[in-house]
Structure 1
Amino acid sequence: MPSVSPGVAIFGLAFWLSVGALLFTYAGYPLLMAALARLRPRPVRSSAQTPRVDVLLVVHDAAGQLDAKLRNLLSLDYPSDRLRINVVCDGCGDGTEAIAHLADPARVRVFTHRERRGKSACIGATLGSLDADIVLFTDVRQRVDAGALRALAAALADDHVGAASGELVFEAADGFGRGIDAYWRYEKLIRRLESASGSLVGVTGALYAARRSVIGDVPAGIVLDDMWIPLRIASAGYRVVFVPQALAYDAAASDPAVEETRKRRTLGGNYQLLHRWPQLAVPGAHPLAWRLWGHKWLRLLAPWLMLLALASNAALAVLGGRVYLILFLLQLAAYALALLGRGVPALARAWMPARIAAAFLSLNASALLGLADYVRNPNAHLWRTTPHRELYR
């Protein structure tokens, strides 16, 4: 039996461990959730109900979008006497507050913070003023389907469910945006499987509902309130479920820079969660810790695993023979395809592999840059409204 040099053994171990971890991150974990959903299903015992609902909408300089959003919310298929909208103006200086005050005061309340505080601070400050059974969280940009609130309320009729997430649908995506949309469909599949087997690890910030009594404190400065809140609810023993019938609509960014800025902020928020709540990374310390590793934390490690796989494969291509040379060339081809998809929009529009490769590379680059962003500025919790073409029809 031929001997293996120490160099080949070390680089081979690094290569296969990194490749194995990447395969588990993007394929193994979804398959594990699918197996759990099939072998140990946990269906939601939904039942039609119309509890009192407080909508919580935090806005900053959203004068161009707020009127349409309010009309959208006021037209939901839900009893008008059971639905109240709470608009929180976070340091608005563009007329947003005046638009909010034009709405029917019997159905729309306005809270004003003259200085910007950030979304989570506004949520935390406003929750004590709400008294409905259910709080519906939404953002100003997305259009909510008329039947969405009824679907979320029905899921919350199950006594074991503490929060219910809607589904975000991207409209009219093209080019790079179609790659993002494909990734989002993959993400939604995982959420469906997590919900079918237990709980999600996060919700769609554009549309989710929670029992007011179990939300808990929301501290200032949190970037990902749509993870903090459901994880607090899950820590109290409640399920967080996915309701695909509850739809919100958005437009996928066709400009890679816009989407990458948004993704960097989201991934920086994941690092912040680990910093502020380190027990989330300790199996057994939180009910969803293992799922967090499979769904979130390994993705933060993925770009480092990709770099390790590329570097170790390069060494093995020199030391380890033809098979490793072929694998190395395949890796280089995959990166070249991703860069072409990013640099040549026409290719991304015409060919799905280039589109997906570009979106995947962008996602992992954003994970690296998100870490740098958080280290450089751990208090980057303020946001700007992202303008999009008309979504309200």
Structure 2
Amino acid sequence: MRILLATDAWEPQVNGVVRTLTRVVDEMRAMGHQVEIISPDQFPTVPLPTYSEIKLAVGAYEPVQEKFKSFEPEAIHIATEGPVGLAARRVCMEWKLPFTTSYHTRFPEYVSARLPVPLAAGYAYMKWFHKPSGRMMVATETMREELERHGFRNISAWSRGVDTEMFHPRRPDETDVFAHLPRPIFLNVGRVAVEKNIEAFACLDLPGTKVVVGDGPQKAELEAKYPDVVFTGAKFGEELAAHFNSADVFVFPSLTDTFGLVILEAMATGSPVAGFNAPGPADIVPGSGAGVLAPGRTDGLREACIACLDLDRKQVRRFAETFSWRACAEQFVKNLEPYPEPEKTRFWRRLRRLARLRRRREAA
């Protein structure tokens, strides 16, 4: 199948959405599908206000049209609600092409955490964006229920995977990257930004050492405010995996993520996860033997962290092994069905005929 993916989140951005999309694209290509990516690196960009690391595409609409024409997709997926996603959505609406979307971030909460924008306004935009979608893919049942309460429809499940070869328990011949720090090690990994609620972790009175791995707009502020917390900056690949497997507990305080891929990455290394009872952790942790959740969304995180120290790291790893990227990609492709109807084939045939007629007129 010829699959077109339009996304505002792509390399060189470093986050769970990008890791998910790049891995799923790799798996789909390995399955024999042709995948065309439309991403911000193909356009002039401007930095996102309050978060300069994220680049927003400028003038994407006409180039996106040309991408559609040249690739002639059989399935179209719009992964994000930014400029690239908006351009692809506009093309689909104007040309009457079916498409699917996905909900990766609690966008209204994300915006409200940064700007004086009411949650209702954020949800109104999101409902407008996703309403024409044949299927809106979400990562967890909790997220589905929450979005249905806000009036969203056509929601389908799309889970996540983890690279259990990259993220593995520390072997006897591997270095403990935290050997120089007092134990136990409580670790957080991700963007150091207000919507990640990292301060709820940084302020905890915990034994041992709190470590934050990642960069972001709130890093300097939190470093100054919490000198007892070790901020390492961003880590990648095997070095990142070593930080996960050298930790005693992984702490995930975010309330805005829809899944939290780092949860699975931590579990794959054997590090149990402490978090709040929020979408993502609430769908992964309970009953897994791989973590402990605080009873609410504002307190109890310290107690969850301490309780994680008693969990069996082998059981944590076994639970993570039940997730795979191939299964994630297969579920994504299934959500693209039904496959193209004859009307879409006729559309592309008609578009090619019009293009030939235009070229003949220009040549004449």
Normalised-by-shorter TM-score class: under 0.3
More contact order relative to length (CA 8 Å, sep ≥ 6) = 1
Which of the two has greater helix per residue?
1
TM-score, normalised by the number of residues in structure 2:
0.26
TM-score (norm 1): 0.24
